[in-house]
């Protein structure tokens, strides 16, 4: 167990959570675009996580304990402006899952995160976004008839339960659906192209 690395990862996740909570409280988090203060925290954490991975590989439960591994996953999940890092790390996380050193749900969330930003159907339905009716929804899912089996295998709750929890959290934090859904999708997709998630 690398206790100093564990503590560092926990502090990175704590800063992420603290910044998000502060920006949600003021409503700044939900204004159009990627809130600059949140973006800076994500970028700083991603830069450090990249160095950690280069040094020790994926920091799994065997190295940093369950809470440290969860913190590393949170940092990676939020490194949305670093598509190369996220894509390159997914196989490492999947290998850690196979070795029993990572949570299968974390790999499922990360794979869906990549697919979502690339504009592809998700496998597990973990990434919710605003739909045209003003609801947080998972959007298109690959092989929907097998979705429940995949979610069960990854240790995920039912899609209905996850969706309800996400909608309740958005309501509690004051997050609202975009007024102009088409403009919202256009801005989201343009950002994804600009940072390298999409080529067209």
DSSP characters over 102-162: S-HHHHHHHHHHHHHHHT--BSS----EE-TTS-EE---BSSGGGHHHHHHHTT---HHHH
- Domain holding 85, by residue range, is 1-102
pLDDT above 90: residue 29: no
Q: Do residues 7 and 71 both lie within one domain?
A: yes
Q: Do residues 124 and 98 both lie within one domain?
A: no
Higher per-residue pLDDT: 139 or 85: 85
pLDDT class of 98 with cuts at 50, 70, 90: very high
Q: Do residues 126 and 33 both lie within one domain?
A: no
Residue 161 in any domain: the answer is: yes
> Can you tell me the distance from the alpha carbon of 133 to that of 152, in angstroms, rounded to the nearest whole number?
28
* pLDDT, tens digit (0-9, with 9 covering 90-100), for 70-90: 999 999 999 999 999 999 999
Residue 153 in any domain: the answer is: yes
Q: Do residues 84 and 131 both lie within one domain?
A: no
CA 163 to chain centre: 15
Could you give the number of structural domains in the chain?
2
> Can you tell me the distance from the alpha carbon of 26 to that of 16, in angstroms, rounded to the nearest whole number?
16
Last residue of a domain, one of 51, 71, 102: 102
Q: Residues 163-173: what's their mean pLDDT?
A: 94
pLDDT at 141: 96
Q: Residues 52-78: what's their mean pLDDT?
A: 97
pLDDT class of 28 with cuts at 50, 70, 90: confident
CA dihedral (160, 22, 76, 60) positive or negative: negative
Q: What residues contact 109, with CB distance under 8 A and at least 6 apart?
A: 73, 77, 124, 126, 127
Q: Do residues 43 and 95 both lie within one domain?
A: yes
Residue 109 in any domain: the answer is: no
Residue 61 in any domain: the answer is: yes
Q: Do residues 168 and 87 both lie within one domain?
A: no
Q: Do residues 91 and 48 both lie within one domain?
A: yes
pLDDT above 80: residue 200: no
Residue 108 in any domain: the answer is: no
* pLDDT, tens digit (0-9, with 9 covering 90-100), for 103-118: 999 999 999 999 999 9
């Amino acid at each position: 167990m690398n206790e100093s690395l564990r503590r560092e990862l926990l502090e990175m996740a704590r800063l992420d959570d603290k910044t998000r909570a502060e920006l949600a409280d003021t409503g700044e988090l939900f204004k159009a675009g990627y809130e600059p203060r949140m973006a800076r925290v994500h970028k700083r954490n991603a830069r450090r996580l990249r160095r950690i991975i280069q040094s020790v590989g994926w920091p799994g439960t065997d190295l940093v304990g369950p809470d440290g591994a969860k913190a590393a996953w949170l940092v990676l999940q939020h490194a949305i402006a670093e598509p190369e890092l996220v894509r390159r790390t997914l196989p490492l996380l999947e290998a850690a899952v196979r070795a029993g050193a990572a949570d299968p749900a974390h790999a499922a969330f990360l794979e869906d995160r990549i697919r979502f930003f690339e504009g592809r159907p998700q496998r597990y339905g973990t990434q919710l976004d605003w739909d045209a009716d003003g609801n947080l929804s998972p959007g298109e899912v690959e092989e929907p008839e097998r979705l429940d089996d995949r979610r069960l295998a990854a240790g995920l709750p039912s899609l209905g339960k996850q969706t309800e929890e996400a909608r309740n959290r958005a309501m509690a934090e004051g997050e609202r659906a975009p007024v102009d859904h088409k403009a919202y999708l256009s801005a989201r997709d343009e950002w994804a192209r600009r940072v390298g998630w999409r080529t067209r």
